[in-house]
Structure 1
Amino acid sequence: MKALVCHGDGSIELTDRPIPVIREDKDAIIEVTLSTICMSDLHIMHQTVPRAKPETVLGHEFVGRVMEVGNGVTKVKPGDRVAVNCITFCGECYFCREGFINNCEKGGWELGCRIDGCQAEYVRVPFADMGLTKIPDSVKDEEALFLGDILSSGYFGADLAEITPGDTVAVIGAGPVGLCAMMCAKLFGASRIIAVDIDDSRLELALRQQLADVVFNPSECDIEEEIKKQTAGRGADGVIEAAGGRDTFSLAWKAARPNGVVALVAMYEENQQFPLPQMYGKNLIFKTGGVDAVHCERLMRLIEAGKIHTDFLITHRSPLNEIEEGYRIFGNKEDGCLKWAVTPYQW
């Protein structure tokens, strides 16, 4: 089969790999019907993900069809359409039982990081009963594509932010995760969403999709002051940092009101500093973490009911044959690319 491999020097190559086989009783083999490129894939290429292993097939955000299951798999069967969780988790260890699946003692972020991922024709998914969500017949692949990663990340950010009905929430970053966070923040009851990004086209999209009520570009204004104007001088009740830029952590804590919550769901490529003397007396609560995607079943029901829609994020698509060009355009944010969807290889 064809698969996109990340070499030890960070370069990528579409090459031939053996079709994966069942190794453990809880494995499933999935035929990939639609996948996508994620910023986390770029972080691996940039060699800023310590847990990543070289010569691994990239990709962790996808949907597909079950081809084969191990003897220990009971919830899915060959022929089922499924969305795949970006996190591999056993469901039995201490952290899984507590709901912290990102910290699973036997898993974590494995697909496309430590074991071969989805930018290929077929994938082996460990702990399939935990990591696969059936796609209803009424839901298209495009609608379910982001379930197990960026939609779950956005939901996770909104959950961390402790949103209560009527809150004003600022979201730093209007990329795919940030847009999903805005959508989910409204589900949690936020009455006002403020979007912050340096890309005006993404801010316009947030307004057009009615995900944000107010938008600001930090290259054009003082974000802290503008948010105070929108909140009677207080600051945002909750802030979701979904950008991971050099200055976005600073923007996030400054935008929050005293005793507010700052949820950090971005993946940074550089260390961030807490300027504690400046923060003193603001009494902020910081919550961090990789996505604990434990709500996939709930999110799938919301998609099926029309309460959530993320297919608008797909701005580009191509077969697996052209995925290296997809990385170039997505990585450089060219041509208004938000998400590049990858269809099966064309032989």
Structure 2
Amino acid sequence: MKALVFQGPGLFSWQDVPDPGIEDATDAIVRVDTVTICGTDLHILKGEVPDVRAGTVLGHEAVGEVVETGDEVRGVRPGDRVLVSCISACGHCRFCRERAYGQCRGGGGWILGRSVHGTQAEYVRVPFADLSTHPLPAAADAQYAVLLADVFPTAYEVGVLNGRVSPGDTVAVVGAGPVGLAAIATAEYFSPGRIIAVDLTPSRLDAAKQIGADAVADAAEEPERLIDDLTEGLGADVVIEAVGTPRSFEICTRMVRPGGRIANVGVHARPATLHLEELWKKNITITTGLVDTYSTPTLLSMLAAGRLPASSLITHLFELDQMEEAYDVFARSADTGALKVAIGGHHPPLVTRGK
């Protein structure tokens, strides 16, 4: 089969690799219909996730059809359309029992495209298939459902729920990329008083307004002043950090009101300064987190009911054999206007190896 293989910092290729097979009784093999590219994949390509080895197939988000299952898989069977979660869960360790699947100590967590071969391929082996795949509702379109593998659960759980967005709150979302936009969309379920989006790119600020932001601010022009003006100098009740840079995190700390919450969602590759000499007296709460994906079934139901604006985030479509072009477009988002890309296409028959 063909797959997108990481060859080392700055290097990758769409190439022939061996077909996956069942390795453990809890595995499923999924024929990939649609995948997407995550900002984390770009971090890997930059060498910022050093535990990813050269030769690894990238990707941790997919929609596809089950073609084979291990003997202990009970929740899905060949022929089922499924969403492949970005998080794999053993289901037995302490953290899985607490629904903190991202912290799984039984061999799961974020492993696809990191420590095991990922989803940017024609076929993928999915460990712990019963908890790591979700049957797709008949009404769910694959190119939009793929956003529920990572983007929407991350924004909802790590941003909106960790930030405890409540009715009447002023919510500032710093970073209007895919996760920031998904945070704006899902924050609206809790009836905040206003949502303010902050970004450097005019096209992303336009997208934020279209998806529900009440106001937008250029990150280069002291956006905290707009927050002060809108809140009579108090600051935002909730600030969601959806970029992952030292500067964006420090902007968040200047926006939050005393007693407010900062929910960090962005993936940070460098240290950020925490100005405790200014923050200690403000009674603020800072949360961080890797997504657990416990909300995925709820979000799938909302997608099927037409209550989740996933289609607003897909800006470019590619076939699987255009994977390298898709990476180029996604990596140059400031020039191309890319938010999320949906990548899908035709596949050769899988050579199964038995159980």
State the TM bucket, normalised to the shorter chain.
over 0.9
- How far, CA to CA, are the matches of 1:54 and 1:235 in structure 2? 45
Alignment of 1:19-38 (within 5 A): 19-38=19-38
Alignment of 1:44-55 (within 5 A): 44-55=44-55
Which residue of structure 1 lines up, in the alignment, with residue 160 of structure 2? 158
| 2:261 maps to amino acid | V
1:121 aligns with 2:137: no
Q: Deviations over 1:231-259 (max 9, x none)?
A: 12111101110111341000111111011
Query: Do 2:257 and 2:282's aligned partners in 1 also have CA atoms closer than 8 Å?
Result: yes
1:169 aligns with 2:171: yes
- How far, CA to CA, are the matches of 2:165 and 2:337 in structure 1? 31
- How far, CA to CA, are the matches of 2:128 and 2:213 in structure 1? 37
Larger mean Cα displacement after TM superposition, 145-154 or 277-286: 277-286
* 1:84, distance to aligned residue in structure 2 (A): 1.2
Which residue of structure 1 lines up, in the alignment, with residue 313 of structure 2? 313
* 1:213, distance to aligned residue in structure 2 (A): 0.6
| 2:166 maps to amino acid | T
Which residue of structure 2 lines up, in the alignment, with residue 213 of structure 1? 214
* 1:191, distance to aligned residue in structure 2 (A): 2.6
- How far, CA to CA, are the matches of 1:327 and 1:64 in structure 2? 20
- How far, CA to CA, are the matches of 1:165 and 1:265 in structure 2? 21
Query: Do 2:41 and 2:59's aligned partners in 1 also have CA atoms closer than 8 Å?
Result: yes
| 2:259 maps to amino acid | N
* 1:263, distance to aligned residue in structure 2 (A): 0.4
Which residue of structure 1 lines up, in the alignment, with residue 67 of structure 2? 67
Q: Deviations over 1:133-171 (max 9, x none)?
A: 111111111221111200111111100001111111110
Which residue of structure 1 lines up, in the alignment, with residue 87 of structure 2? 87
Q: Deviations over 1:98-157 (max 9, x none)?
A: 121111002111111111111100000000010111111111112211112001111111
Q: Deviations over 1:181-237 (max 9, x none)?
A: 11111113323111000011111111123x201100122x32112101111211110
SS in 1 for 2:282: coil
Q: Which runs of 5+ in 1 are unaligned?
A: none
Which residue of structure 1 lines up, in the alignment, with residue 137 of structure 2? 136
Larger mean Cα displacement after TM superposition, 134-143 or 38-47: 134-143
Query: Do 2:9 and 2:44's aligned partners in 1 also have CA atoms closer than 8 Å?
Result: no
Structural RMSD (CA): 1.3
Which residue of structure 2 lines up, in the alignment, with residue 245 of structure 1? 245
1:190 aligns with 2:192: yes
| 2:217 maps to amino acid | F
- How far, CA to CA, are the matches of 2:328 and 2:343 in structure 1? 14
Which residue of structure 1 lines up, in the alignment, with residue 292 of structure 2? 292
| 1:161 maps to amino acid | G
- How far, CA to CA, are the matches of 1:294 and 1:53 in structure 2? 28
* 1:346, distance to aligned residue in structure 2 (A): 7.0
| 2:181 maps to amino acid | L
* 1:77, distance to aligned residue in structure 2 (A): 1.0
SS in 2 for 1:202: helix
Which residue of structure 2 lines up, in the alignment, with residue 342 of structure 1? 343
Please, which of 156, 178, 181 is the counterpart of residue 179 of structure 1? 181
Which residue of structure 2 lines up, in the alignment, with residue 77 of structure 1? 77
Query: Do 1:319 and 1:346's aligned partners in 2 also have CA atoms closer than 8 Å?
Result: no
| 1:174 maps to amino acid | A
- How far, CA to CA, are the matches of 2:9 and 2:59 in structure 1? 17
Distance 1:12 1:297, change over 3 A: same
- Aligned length in residues: 345
SS in 2 for 1:312: helix
| 1:125 maps to amino acid | V
| 2:64 maps to amino acid | G
* 1:345, distance to aligned residue in structure 2 (A): 5.1
- How far, CA to CA, are the matches of 2:261 and 2:28 in structure 1? 39
1:281 aligns with 2:281: yes
- How far, CA to CA, are the matches of 1:108 and 1:346 in structure 2? 28
- How far, CA to CA, are the matches of 2:121 and 2:345 in structure 1? 8
Q: Deviations over 1:308-327 (max 9, x none)?
A: 12122111121122211211
TM-score normalized with structure 1 length: 0.96
* 1:30, distance to aligned residue in structure 2 (A): 0.3
